Amino acid sequence: MQDVGHRTGAMEPRDIPVDVLVVGGGPAALCLAAAMASEGLRVAVLAPHDPRAPWPNTYGIWGEEVDALGLAHLLEHRWSNTVSYFGAGDRDPMAPANRPTLHGRDYGLFNKVELQRHWLDLCDLHGVRLLQGTAQQLRLEPPSAETPGGLNVLTTAEGCDHSARLVVDATGHEPLFVRRPDEGPVAGQAAYGVVGRFSAPPVDSGQFVLMDYRCDHLTPEQRQQPPTFLYAMDLGDGRFFVEETSLALAPPVPYDTLKTRLQQRLAHRGIEVLQVEHEEFCLFPMNLPLPDLQQPVLGFGGAASMVHPASGYMVGSLLRRAPLVARAVAAAMADPAAGPAPLAQSGWLALWPVSLRRKHALYQFGLEKLMRFPEAQLRAFFATFFALPNALWYGFLANTLTLPELVGAMVHLFLKAPWGVRWGLMLMQGRELRLGLRLLNPVGTRS
Ligand SMILES: Cc1cc2nc3c(=O)[nH]c(=O)nc-3n(C[C@H](O)[C@H](O)[C@H](O)COP(=O)(O)OP(=O)(O)OC[C@H]3O[C@@H](n4cnc5c(N)ncnc54)[C@H](O)[C@@H]3O)c2cc1C
């Protein structure tokens, strides 16, 4: 196994047992490795690539979330002019229904290099070892005098072994080791976007558009198909990012459809793409079931179903939850007899306490509903949602409300919604009822 640690920088094929081996080199792996090491644990990160290699994705977050974490300096862009459109856009664009919904909240994009460096610096400070290799298999070594709880031994595709008291799977949405139940088709958030220059500004100067659901550029047939929206922002210096997005669908909306719709939308407003700097093809699962919380490997990030099922966001959650998980695992490690299973269990329970599992059930129930809503009903739903008190809709999207507050927000929304939306919320179809009942009996309530 190659050690790409910046302190030694040399090949180090020896297996040096650590407390925690984090598998993966994305945001989840680095975030948790930094938090675990900050707790005084001996930590290694294993990825097929150098974990300092740039990530492909850029991550967005609400300003208040990043402020509360004290990490506003990691943002590359920050917008105060944040809006959405929930009118159809046809007929009179100045009609009240077609006016923009003003969010009155900042939104930011991380500087992905700085975010990565932030976690790598913490890893460096606390002596995290960076190892290069592709994880393949995991086995449990029986207890010995030195390791009375047993040890995990991970074998890489390159043929190296690495031992740890706890292995964390942070290999993304299709994890290598973490198991979760099969609950049928998984909905994907799909998007096609372009960073570039345009013949006219696709959004106002200095503006961020969270969701533009206007659909006056679509044919009547297209308006019968699953709705999509524009996510767009002014990046400054005449550059803009425009992305046609499907919130969630199983199977996901194909990229070709999204690209056609984006072109149609721009053309309808008389906008031409002059220069394409970068094309983004985005697809990730929105409603993954919760993992089995009894398994002897801990998960984090996409691997642990941490994507917010109603918004698709995860980075704020990583930053808030990593210290809690790390603290719980460090406390469990204090018992030298604790083996991989109880150590993983301590992490799972800190990551997914019952209250969060109940909220996850509610979010999944809500997403299931939204995926069935036709275009006009969906626009009416979002117009009502963003008319909720600002703190409520924000807390819903950032997953910072308590369970009673979340239930309260949903009741509030139901009472304010037009009848068409209320009816859609009441009608139980497919697996909706089963998902809704999980609020009362969430996965793994035994623990
Ligand atoms: C295009 C896109 C845009 C997104 N935008 C946002 C956003 O704006 N805000 C937000 O909060 N979320 C966003 N998300 C959702 C989510 O935050 C990301 O998917 C995020 O990258 C998930 O992080 P992760 O570390 O769990 O997994 P990944 O980023 O997928 O990282 C997985 C890591 O595991 C490594 N790995 C895989 N197999 C092995 C193996 N066998 N051995 C060792 N290592 C392995 C990979 O090389 C990689 O380093 C976006 C997702 C996508 C796809």
Q: Which atom of ligand 1 is nearest to the CA of 157?
A: 41
SS3 category, 211: strand
2-52+113-180+289-351 CATH fold: FAD/NAD(P)-binding domain (3.50.50)
Q: Where are the domains of the chain?
A: 2-52+113-180+289-351, 60-111+185-285, 354-437
Most ligand 1 atoms within 8 A of CB, residue of 162, 284, 297 to mutate = 284
Length of the chain measured in residues: 447
* pLDDT of amino acid 426: 80
Hey, CA dihedral for 52, 3, 336, 170, is it positive or negative?
Answer: positive
* pLDDT of amino acid 249: 96
**Per-residue model confidence as pLDDT tens for the chain (447 residues):** 445 544 333 334 557 789 999 999 999 999 999 999 999 999 999 999 999 999 988 899 999 999 999 999 999 999 999 999 999 887 666 677 788 999 999 999 999 999 999 999 999 999 999 999 999 999 999 888 888 888 999 999 999 999 999 999 999 999 999 999 998 899 999 999 999 999 999 999 999 999 999 999 999 999 999 999 999 999 999 999 999 999 999 999 999 999 999 999 999 999 999 999 999 999 999 999 999 999 999 999 999 999 999 899 999 999 999 999 999 999 999 999 999 999 999 999 999 999 999 999 999 999 998 999 999 999 999 999 999 999 999 999 999 999 999 999 999 999 999 998 888 888 777 777 777 777 777 765 444
Most ligand 1 atoms within 8 A of CB, residue of 171, 174, 241, 286 to mutate = 171
**Burial class of residue 246, CB neighbours in 10 A (0-12, 13-18, 19+):** buried
Both tokens of residue 136? Answer: 């393949």
Q: Is 184 left (phi over 0), alpha (psi -120 to 50) or beta?
A: left
Q: Which atom of ligand 1 is nearest to the CA of 61?
A: 9
The residues, any chain, with a CB within 8 Å of residue 432's CB and separated by 6 or more, are 365, 368, 369
Phi, psi of 34 (to 5 degrees): -65, -40
Both tokens of residue 423? Answer: 């009816």
Q: Which atom of ligand 1 is nearest to the CA of 176?
A: 41
How many CB atoms sit inside 10 A of residue 378's CB?
A: 23
Residue 17 and residue 349: Cα distance in Å, rounded?
25
* Per-residue CA distances from 67 to 72, 133, 314, 351, 443 (Å): 5, 36, 16, 22, 32
Q: Which CATH number fits domain 60-111+185-285: 3.30.379, 3.40.1630, 2.60.40, 3.90.660?
A: 3.90.660
Name the closest-CA residue to atom 5, ligand 1. 59
Helices (H), 126-232: none
* Per-residue CA distances from 318 to 132, 305, 440 (Å): 23, 11, 26
- Identify whether the C-beta of residue 377 lies closer than 8 Å to the C-beta of residue 420: yes
Query: Which residue type occupies 290?
Result: L
* pLDDT of amino acid 147: 85
Task: Answer whether 0.85 is exceeded by the pTM.
Answer: yes
Ligand 1 neighbours by CB, cut-off 6 Å: 23-29, 46-49, 57, 59-60, 134-135, 170-172, 176, 280, 282, 284, 301-303, 307, 312-315
Q: Which atom of ligand 1 is nearest to the CA of 301?
A: 26
Both tokens of residue 33? Answer: 């490795």
User: Measured in angstroms, how far is the CA atom of residue 340 from the centroid of ligand 1?
Assistant: 25
Q: Which of 256, 258, 276 is nearest to 218 (CA)?
A: 258
Residue with tokens 């040096």: 16
Most ligand 1 atoms within 8 A of CB, residue of 32, 57, 315 to mutate = 57
Both tokens of residue 436? Answer: 């809704």
* pLDDT of amino acid 421: 86
Q: Which atom of ligand 1 is nearest to the CA of 302?
A: 26
Name the closest-CA residue to atom 35, ligand 1. 24
* pLDDT of amino acid 374: 92
